[in-house]
Structure 1
Amino acid sequence: MPGLLRGVARTAVISGTATAVSNRVSRRQAGRWAQQDYGQPAVAPASSAPAPAPEPAAAASMDTKISQLKELAQLKEQGVLSEAEFAAQKSRILAL
């Protein structure tokens, strides 16, 4: 049974990573298309001040990160994830 759990956990980690990469590529491509369509930079100029992030979204994001970290810790305690896998996924979650 531990082999099955490890396989399921790795599949979940790989799927999450693939989704994050896919979203990043989509955003980058949309920015390039916008730049081509309008002849303007896709990113706001560095001289303008960035808009402050809304508080509810930040709180929801933090709750999501905490729940993901708890799930990772449980998988590590069960022996599904190695220390290296745990550290890699933890840094990925905290970087988002």
Structure 2
Amino acid sequence: MGLISGMVRTAVVAGTATAVSNRVTRRQRARWAAQDYSAVPPAGMPVNHEMPEDDLASELDRLTVLHAQGRLTDAEFAAAKAKVLER
């Protein structure tokens, strides 16, 4: 029974570690999606009006989350999405 209980214990620890890691990843992605990109850059920092591809996808993800949560109406979502895609 020692071998089986050791295997079970290892499986439980590995499963718990995976679950915690996945939860942390989901929470971090949600935080990144909710970041405000409209902040003014610090003085002296050049303003780049083109969004890098990663930021564009992140901003669209953030808008999608806000729309899914009901915090943006269909019209607000469409306007914000169009504005992001213009950049």
Higher helix share: 1
TM over 0.5: no
Q: Which structure is higher in RCO with an 8 Å CA cutoff and minimum separation 6? A: 1
Q: Which has the larger radius of gyration?
A: 2
Task: Give the TM-score of the pair, scaled to structure 1.
Answer: 0.39
Task: Give the TM-score of the pair, scaled to structure 2.
Answer: 0.43
